[in-house]
Amino acid sequence: LNDMYKQMEMMSKVGTIDKLMSFLPGSMLGGMGAMSKGQKEAMQGNLDRYRTIMDSMTAWEKNEPAKIKADRIRRVARGSGVREKDVRELIAQWNRSRKMMKGMGGNRKLNKQMRKMMKDGEMDMDPSSFGM
């Protein structure tokens, strides 16, 4: 989760999801660049909630999200002012992201495109932070 948090921090420096998506062609990432305003707002809300949840976690919980048990989920939910379901959703999203990044690790063409996009565009991000 620490890496995920750092990525969210970098994204927030660029601006809102709407601004970030404006850098992407509509066909990139399965059409995410062509999302509706409502979808982008919902995604921004999720990112903000996830950051709040992670701010309520201990270092161990961020380093070992797969080992977080129900009592810790309850504590994090109370501390961040969200439902336990939201904490579980964050952990599930982390699992999906981790699996996706592992799958992308071997895709050299995609890695090269992402690096080029980050260097050429206004996005001031370090591609190594994405595991590339």
How far apart, in whole angstroms, are the C-alpha atoms of residue 5 and residue 98? 13
Q: pLDDT tens digits for 31-75? A: 555 667 788 788 888 888 999 999 999 999 999 999 999 999 999
Predicted model pTM:
0.63
**Residue 16 counted as domain residue:** no
Average pLDDT, the chain: 77
The enclosing domain of 109 has a CATH number of 1.10.260.30
Q: Tally the domains of the chain.
A: 1
Residue span of the structural domain in which 79 resides: 37-126
**Residue 30 counted as domain residue:** no
**Residue 26 counted as domain residue:** no
Between 132 and 65, where is the model more confident?
65
Q: Of the segments 25-34, 97-106, 112-121, which one has the largest average pLDDT value?
A: 97-106
**Residue 60 counted as domain residue:** yes
Between 23 and 37, where is the model more confident?
37
